Amino acid sequence: MIAVIGIGFVAALVSTWMKSDDWKPGRVTTEASGGGELHPVTIRQPDIQPLVATGELDAHGKPVMVACATCHDNRDPNYQANSGSALEEFHQGLKYDHGNQTCLSCHNSEDYNTLKQADGRAIALNESMTLCSQCHALQHRDYQNGMHGGMTGYWDLTRGGRTRNTCIDCHDPHHPKFPTVTPVFPPKPVIGENPATHDTPSSHHENHE
Ligand code: HEC
Ligand code: HEC
Ligand code: HEC
Ligand code: HEC
């Protein structure tokens, strides 16, 4: 009897584990059993175009943008490039600090308008979630479980939808370290002021007598 229950338990565990293989970004597994219609979980997709500003303005005063391919179609890719400070001809000032990876471990040397996955397939510039998750599987798993990346909206998806950030909302792909915040002491209360109530000294005359 106990053996049968045991086998059933293991089977249930295994099937949950197998199901977890096809998790998709933002898919919510725990809420599905609640019944009722579930509102969607939307992952923000920033509108990133494969364009850079030339620094010049057109006749209407708008910045002149050029496609990556305009220049890169006529240039040999530099597979060694791995630092911002080495860029002298263009993209000067690009701050880069992301392990010791080269630029072309993420950018697609076949088509600079796109990024590339580890297997060489091209993905759009704004598909950072797919890109980052290949190397940061741990954070991606945490993201899917709601422990990384934050969200706004409803916990209970039967009541309303939810919006989730994408990786580059918080991390610059070129220098992804989240800026550290230095803890400081809270401001000192002004002498004579009661910090707990923010009362002025005059309203508490009796305390000081
Ligand atoms: C006006 C021309 C121009 C445009 C437009 C341009 N680049 Fe570049 N790019 C360059 C030049 C020149 C270099 C080499 C800079 C150096 O090594 O000093 C470079 C270097 C790079 C590198 C380093 C690897 C390599 O092959 O040199 C990457 C990655 C890159 N560009 C990505 C892009 C992306 C993505 C875009 C579009 C968003 C873009 N570039 C648009 C001129 C351009
Ligand atoms: C970890 C992956 C990764 C690496 C490595 C990387 N990039 Fe990028 N890069 C991205 C992503 C993602 C975007 C699009 C999102 C954005 O614009 O912030 C981007 C955008 C760009 C752009 C267009 C927008 C902009 O910031 O001007 C340029 C130019 C560029 N990268 C150049 C480079 C160069 C040069 C290097 C190497 C010094 C490099 N990248 C290394 C992921 C990467
Ligand atoms: C090709 C593999 C690869 C890709 C793709 C990649 N990373 Fe990384 N990432 C690394 C490596 C390697 C390190 C450095 C680890 C170390 O130094 O310990 C790193 C470090 C980091 C760190 C820690 C930085 C620090 O200094 O503490 C963050 C945050 C990060 N990556 C975010 C991202 C984001 C966001 C993306 C997508 C835009 C991304 N990564 C794409 C390989 C990758
Ligand atoms: C809401 C903002 C936010 C989003 C969205 C976000 N992160 Fe982070 N991430 C952080 C913060 C904050 C830290 C720093 C935690 C710390 O320093 O302890 C961090 C740390 C990291 C680290 C470094 C971990 C370490 O131990 O040093 C990696 C790698 C990373 N994130 C990858 C990702 C990936 C991949 C995504 C997209 C699936 C993502 N992050 C989305 C806020 C975010």
pLDDT in tens, 51-107: 998 888 999 999 999 999 999 999 999 999 988 888 888 898 899 999 989 999 999
Number of domains the chain is built from: 1
Residue 121 belongs to a domain: yes
Nearest-atom number in ligand 3 for the CA of 106 is 5
More confident residue, 179 or 136: 136
136 ligand 4 Cβ < 6 A: yes
Ligand 1 nearest atom to the CA of residue 88, by list position: 18
Instruction: Say if 140 falls within a structural domain.
Output: yes
Residue 189 domain-assigned (yes or no): no
Residue 194 belongs to some domain of the structure:
no
62 domain residue, yes or no: yes
- Alpha-carbon distance 54 to 51, whole Å? 9
Pull the structure tokens for residue 34.
């609640």
What is the span of the domain harbouring residue 125? Answer: 46-144
Q: How far apart are CA 114 and CA 122, in angstroms?
A: 6
* The pLDDT of residue 55: 84
Which pLDDT band holds residue 188 (cuts at 50, 70, 90)? confident
Query: What is the pLDDT confidence band of residue 185, given thresholds at 50, 70 and 90?
Result: confident
3-class DSSP state of 195: coil
Q: What residues contact residue 200 under an 8 Å CB cut-off, 6+ apart?
A: 193
Please indicate, yes or no, if residue 37 is contained in any of the structural domains: no
Residue 190 lies in a domain: no
Nearest CA to ligand 3 atom 10: 99
According to the model, what pLDDT value does residue 204 have? 47
| 150 assigned to some structural domain | no
